[in-house]
Structure 1
Amino acid sequence: MTTLPEPAERVLVVTAHPDDVDFGSAGTIASWTAAGVQVTYCVCTSGDAGGFDDTPREAMPRLRQDEQRAAAAAVGVTDVHFLGYRDGQVTADLQLRRDITKMIRAVRPHRVVTHSPEINWDHLAMSHPDHRAVGQATLAAIYPDARNEFAHPELLAEGLAPWTVPELWMSESPDERVNHAVDVTDHFEAKLAALAAHRSQTAHLEDLRGMIRRHLARTAERHGLPGRLAEVFHVVDTS
């Protein structure tokens, strides 16, 4: 496991869909906000292809945005942005790189959390194409785009100066890449509240609490925290 500095002052979380951060990282986020860290969410789509009930398709984007804001509040996050890409159609193109670069330069985070761009063959459900595309675009935005004044020069005209992100945290990475576990036992209830806020995605699950607790317990056991609950990441020094 990696040895890390104290919690960063500012963190930017970049995900593909509403609820991604809550399934993967909400316990960790809750621990950071409890320590006074400023966290911003950037959600690339509004989850318009999600849902398990008869909610009209045209109502789904607004519903899922509202759910994500409520979930964010449950873990102490109030700054939530949506980029408006179509759910299921995200690609790591220059436009997405530019939009994420813009967020990085605006927030000026000391740490970015996003999806792994790699396929996790042991847990394929984690490797949604939108997740991998967002992970790939975020990595390109961190290096080289956000720190390079000649990349996306129109951002300079908007007053967004280059920024170097020191740390990248990736969730959903293949197990062999994981190098950091966060003990989220004390923040389990906050994580559960965040997930429950996504009613369009979780209300049909009969035992959400048990499912999440078992998953976090197994993760903790695998990564040296027996008897605890953990979320895990592939952490990279990007300075």
Structure 2
Amino acid sequence: MLPDSEIRRVLVVTAHPDDADFGSAGSVALLVDRGVEVTYLVVTDGDAGGNERTLDNAGMAELRRAEQLAAGKAVGVTDVRFLGYPDGRVEPSLELRRDIARVIRQVRPDLVIAQHPERNYRFIAPSHPDHRAVGGATLDAVYPDARNPYAFPELLQEEGLEAWTVREVWLTGGSTPDHYVDITDAVDRKLAALQAHVSQVAHVEGFVEFVKGRFAAWAEEAGFGEGRYAEGFQVVSTA
């Protein structure tokens, strides 16, 4: 794995507003504490989310973008970018790969955090089709697209974006994590980020207890002991 000292820029790529906060906001808060530059890239506009249909799709998309901006600020992330793909209809297309590769070349991250492209049979929620599509497209954008100067030549010829090699990827939402981050010192900021998504979580009774229980279980699985909280990732080397 990359030493902490060699992680200076991180790009978090997710399908929907709130995905970064469920998957990695605690780890992100700790990275920001160390002075790491973190960028969020949200692929969809989130217009198919929400518990009550009091807004049309355009109104929901606007609300969810605002909620994600507030959630990012809760953990110290102010560079939040949206691609505006339609919620619920994402496919791992060449266009999506190009759009993610573009941001990789712009941000030039050492580490990319993305969603797992495979179905999780332990918990169904991480396996939303958009999550899997975005996870697969992100891995393809990391390798080979972003590092290959011949891939999507318009990125270089028209936009001046030189090829960039991401050194490591952490996948969230998979069934076989092999790296855990103790987020106990940042769990309150993770909760604040999640609760910024009022349209998604305000109606969930016992939401805070649910979140704490889920991430306490990860901490026990990691061997951190009682009273601790953790996020789990599957680490992918790109060497």
Residue 124 in structure 1 maps to residue 103 in structure 2: no
Please provide the CA RMSD for this pair: 0.9
Residue 196 in structure 1 maps to residue 171 in structure 2: no
Q: Displacement of 1:55 after TM fit?
A: 2.7
Aligned to 1:181: 180
Cα offsets for 1:9-37 (capped at 9, x unmatched): 00000000000000111101001001110
Letter of the structure 2 residue corresponding to residue 223 of structure 1: A
Gaps of 5+ in 1: none
Aligned to 1:237: 237
CA distance in structure 2 between the aligned counterparts of 1:35 and 1:195, rounded to whole angstroms: 22
State the secondary structure of the residue aligned to 2:4: coil
Aligned to 2:36: 37
Q: Displacement of 1:160 after TM fit?
A: 0.2
Residue 154 in structure 1 maps to residue 150 in structure 2: no
CA distance in structure 2 between the aligned counterparts of 1:18 and 1:143, rounded to whole angstroms: 25
State the secondary structure of the residue aligned to 2:216: helix
Matched ranges for 1:14-53 at <5 A: 14-53=13-52
Q: Displacement of 1:207 after TM fit?
A: 1.8
Runs of 4+ in 1 over 6 A off after TM superposition: none
Identical positions, percent: 55
Matched ranges for 1:47-196 at <5 A: 47-57=46-56, 58-157=58-157, 158-175=159-176, 178-196=177-195
CA distance in structure 1 between the aligned counterparts of 2:235 and 2:71, rounded to whole angstroms: 24
CA distance in structure 1 between the aligned counterparts of 2:45 and 2:193, rounded to whole angstroms: 17
Cα offsets for 1:60-85 (capped at 9, x unmatched): 00000000000000000000000010
CA distance in structure 2 between the aligned counterparts of 1:55 and 1:235, rounded to whole angstroms: 40
Q: Which moved more, 1:129-138 or 1:202-211?
A: 202-211
Letter of the structure 2 residue corresponding to residue 47 of structure 1: G
Q: Displacement of 1:206 after TM fit?
A: 2.0
Cα offsets for 1:83-105 (capped at 9, x unmatched): 01000000000000000000000
Q: Which moved more, 1:49-58 or 1:38-47?
A: 49-58
| Count of residue pairs brought into register by the alignment | 235
CA distance in structure 2 between the aligned counterparts of 1:32 and 1:125, rounded to whole angstroms: 26
When the two structures are superposed, what TM-score results if normalisation uses the length of structure 1? Answer: 0.96
Letter of the structure 2 residue corresponding to residue 127 of structure 1: S
Q: Which moved more, 1:188-197 or 1:3-12?
A: 3-12
Aligned to 2:4: 6
CA distance in structure 2 between the aligned counterparts of 1:237 and 1:16, rounded to whole angstroms: 22
When the two structures are superposed, what TM-score results if normalisation uses the length of structure 2? Answer: 0.96
Letter of the structure 1 residue corresponding to residue 172 of structure 2: S
Gaps of 5+ in 2: none
State the secondary structure of the residue aligned to 1:12: strand
CA distance in structure 1 between the aligned counterparts of 2:234 and 2:171, rounded to whole angstroms: 5
CA distance in structure 2 between the aligned counterparts of 1:112 and 1:126, rounded to whole angstroms: 18
Cα offsets for 1:136-164 (capped at 9, x unmatched): 00000000000001100000021100000
Q: Displacement of 1:124 after TM fit?
A: 1.7
Q: Displacement of 1:4 after TM fit?
A: 4.3
Is contact 2:2-2:168 (8 Å) kept?
no
Letter of the structure 2 residue corresponding to residue 37 of structure 1: V
Letter of the structure 1 residue corresponding to residue 218 of structure 2: T
CA distance in structure 2 between the aligned counterparts of 1:111 and 1:211, rounded to whole angstroms: 29
Letter of the structure 1 residue corresponding to residue 37 of structure 2: Q
Is contact 2:41-2:82 (8 Å) kept?
yes
